[in-house]
Amino acid sequence: MRLNRARRTVDRALGVRILLIAGAGYGAVVLAAALLDAVLELPSWWRRILAAMAGVGAATTALRLILLAWRSRSDESLALWIEAHHPLDYLLVTAADPRCAGNPELEKALAAREFEPAVSRAAWRGVRRPAIAAALIGVATMVLLPAPRLARVVRPRAGDVLNLPARTFSSRTRPLVVRYTAPAYAGGEAVTFEDPTSIRGLEGGSLEVRGPGNPDGLVVAMGDTLFQASKDESRWQVRLGMPPSPAVLRIRDGPVERLLGLEPVRDTIPAVRLVAPDRDSVVRVASGRIRLAALASDDRGLARGWFELIVSSGTGELFRFRTSAIGRRSLGGRSDSLSAILRLDSLQLQPGDILHLRAVATDLGPGYRGLGSSETRTIRVSRPGEADTAAVVLMPPLPGDTAALSERLLIQLAEALEARRSRLARPVLVRESQDIGRDQANLRKQVADIVFTRLSTDVEGEHAHRAQADTASDLTPGELLRQAEEATAPDSEEQLDFQREETPVVAINRPLLEAYNAMWDASRELDIGEPGRALPHMRAALEAIQRARAAERVYLRGRAVPAVVDVNRVRLSGKREDLRPVARAPGPAGLWEQRLRRFVAAISLIPADVPAARDSLLVLRLELLPDAPAVAASLGEAIAALRGGRNPLPPLASARAALAGEPSLRRGLGGWERAGW
């Protein structure tokens, strides 16, 4: 029992000793790490390692000591330890021997000897040195290290550099701590960067930039946009969003400027695949049902999907389009499917119409990135008799004179004049109206050339018509229209070619003839200064022209003869005065020449001012990200190398070669060599 009491005393003292030893060891490592950090400004991951080492070391030490103590925990060991510190003539050792347990004389002799105080003193004496060491380390820590410094090692975290007193820093632009938070739809994760050169994150995320000191007089700008810095205890901070395109954030503190690159990562649009229908089709009758199915996937998350339908109707130069959507629904997750049934009857497709069909999906990201869409299937409704016609290439219509004012533009001019009528003097109104009338007459003559074909060589339309002395010249436009209609009637018994002695008039296009007549009426009104009264006739003429365009046309059968240019004849026959030598002189430097010059200027700074060179390269890199990502990547490597004190020459050489337009080595020619060169 006395031994057990002694054991408890020793155990208490040993426990305290072990704690003090482990603590002193931990404190020593922490102190050393903190002093190292004060000199070298260790990054947070280094400090985490050192903190972990200190903790693991302390725990290991404590465990080892406990293990050693546990091994020597027998009564005999304890008795020996006690005898060593307070000799008892080996009475205690003998009493501890199980073979001598219960010996009354031994117990009587032992009872007469007191050893407990000595045991207590000896046990607690062993605590003295560790306590002194721990106390010294503690005092040193408190004297040498402020609390923020200590916290950097004990509880290291990204961005804690700003916890140090502001006087520690020579400028408010360094160090910077940037906290980037991804958009909510992308998980909203936050990442903290300590003193970065550039930040890369998903577009739409939020940025919180902090630096040491107060915000007074600090200028933070991105392009032309200024940001107001606010105070956060002993720091300044700015909040902004990740821009949609690469940009530079400039932080200026008096003469000192710091650049921070912002590199947005684009949220890719969804990938959509149309599963059904799986091929294009031609149908004779637009009826029945078609099953539609599609699969969509996205890197972040899908939002909505539907099937888009475009119906195109028309031929030649006149087309009409109708769009609609079916199967619209919300999508979820990173992959989902779409399905719908398309009833062709509901689209009211006509022969010749084409239905273009595709599946579309959106994601949760910024809407300005666009839609993800699938392949397009077309379903065409065949024209009657389509299978009966010979497969020939139709000759295109002859082009008209594009230099003439169109009827549409003449209407606009007349409407504008009519709107100004009340503000114009009568002579001015008449003059301007007659100007429009002249243009209308020009257009009418061109229409006449098309409408009035001749069997003679005389190609003049109106004039040849008026030169006729026969009844044709006395016909009113309405009578002319009726005669033309009769002449072109399919059941007409009269021979067109030999109807009269004079050259007959054959109208080949009734709508154009109506347009011609309406233009006559419009010209009469315009010539007397009445644009308002001319407008109905002009609009009728335009409507007739539109009908003429939509009319069925008969083309000569056969393949259109391709136009072949007599190159030798026209060689260098262009007007030489159009070629101005000054135009060939080097004009303002092109974009790439400018970029190359800026690159050369930036690298020339490296020997004298590495930070300035880095900043210049950073700005250039951000400009190149959209259209020259490979060059931007080389510049990024060079910037990282300059920052880390490594050799930047290889990436700089690669970037220079690309900026100068030097050919880059590729393996093979790809499609070019397979083309048979």
Partner 1 sequence: MVTFAFATLQYESGDWDSAPLVPANVVDSVARYTELDVAPAGVVVSLSSRDVFRYPFTYLTGHLPVRFTPAERANLIEYVDRSGFLFIDDHNHDIDGQFHRTVTDELTRACGPMIVLPNDHALYRAFFTFSNGPPTTSHELNGWGDNLVHKTLKAVVRDGRIGVLYSNKDYSSEWSYHPENKRFLPVDNTKFAVNLVVYALTR
Q: Where are the alpha helices (DSSP H) in 41-146?
A: 44-71, 75-85, 91-96, 104-111, 116-125, 128-144
Phi, psi (degrees; rounded to nearest 5) at 564: -115, 130
Instruction: Please list, in sequence order, all residues whose beta carbon lies within 8 angstroms of the beta carbon of residue 320, skipping any fewer than 6 positions away.
Output: 312, 313, 314
Min. distance of Cβ 319 from partner 1 in angstroms? 6
Closest listed residue to residue 465, CA positions, set 513, 409, 536, 397:
513
Q: What's the rounded Cα separation, in Å, for the pair 338 and 292? A: 8
Our CB check for partner 1 shows the closer of 114 and 375 to be: 375
Distance in Å, CB of 456 to partner 1, minimum: 24
Closest approach, Cβ 315 to partner 1, in A, equals 9
Give the C-alpha separation, 163 to 534, whole Å: 82
Shortest Å, Cβ 259 to partner 1: 23
Question: Are the CB atoms for 367 and 276 separated by under 8 Å?
Answer: no
CA distance 646 to 653: 15
Q: How far is the CB of 628 from partner 1 (least distance, A)?
A: 5
Q: List beta partners, residue 219.
A: 252
Measured in residues, the chain has a length of 677
Asked if 341 and 330 count as a contact pair (C-beta separation under 8 A), the reply is no
**Residue closer to partner 1 (CB basis): 249 or 443:** 443
Q: How far is CA 560 from CA 550, 556, 587, in A?
A: 22, 9, 44
Q: Treating both helix axes as pointing N-terminal to C-terminal, what angle do 147-154 and 2-40 enclose, rounded to 10 degrees?
A: 110
For partner 1, which is the closer residue by CB, 61 or 378?
Answer: 378
β-pair partners for 329: 305
Q: Which is nearer to partner 1, 313 or 453 (CB)?
A: 313
For the chain, the maximum distance between any two Cα atoms, rounded to a whole number of angstroms, is 169
Q: Return the number of the residue (161 or 309) whose C-beta is nearest partner 1.
A: 309
CB of 479 to partner 1, least distance (A): 33
CB of 345 to partner 1, least distance (A): 22
Nearest distance in Å: CB 398, partner 1: 9
Cβ pair 514, 540 in contact under 8 A: yes
What residues line the site for partner 1 (CB under 8 A)?
310, 312, 317, 319, 321, 323, 354, 356, 358, 370-371, 373, 375-376, 378, 396, 399, 402-403, 405-406, 408-409, 412, 560, 562-567, 570-575, 578-580, 583, 587-588, 590-592, 595, 626-628, 630-631, 658, 661, 669-672, 674-677
Closest distance to partner 1 from the beta carbon of 55 (Å): 50
Helices marked H in 554-645 — which ranges? 567-570, 581-584, 591-604, 610-624, 629-644
HEC string for 277-304: CCCCEEECCCCCEEEEEEEEECCCCEEE
For residues 70 and 677, which CB has a smaller minimum distance to partner 1 in the complex?
Answer: 677
Please name which of 115, 118, 129, 127 lies closest in space to residue 13, comparing C-alpha atoms. Answer: 127
Whether 211 and 175 have beta carbons less than 8 Å apart is answered as yes
Rounded to the nearest whole angstrom, what is the least distance from the CB of residue 437 to partner 1 in the complex? Answer: 19
Shortest distance, position 344 Cβ to partner 1, whole Å: 18
CB of 265 to partner 1, least distance (A): 15
DSSP structure class, residue 171: B
Residue 216 vs 566, nearer CB to partner 1: 566
**Is there a contact between 57 and 30 (Cβ–Cβ < 8 Å)?**
no
Nearest CB to partner 1, comparing residues 112 and 583: 583
Identify whether the C-beta of residue 154 lies closer than 8 Å to the C-beta of residue 41: no
CB nearer partner 1, residue 180 or residue 306: 306
Residue closer to partner 1 by CB (options 104, 676) is 676
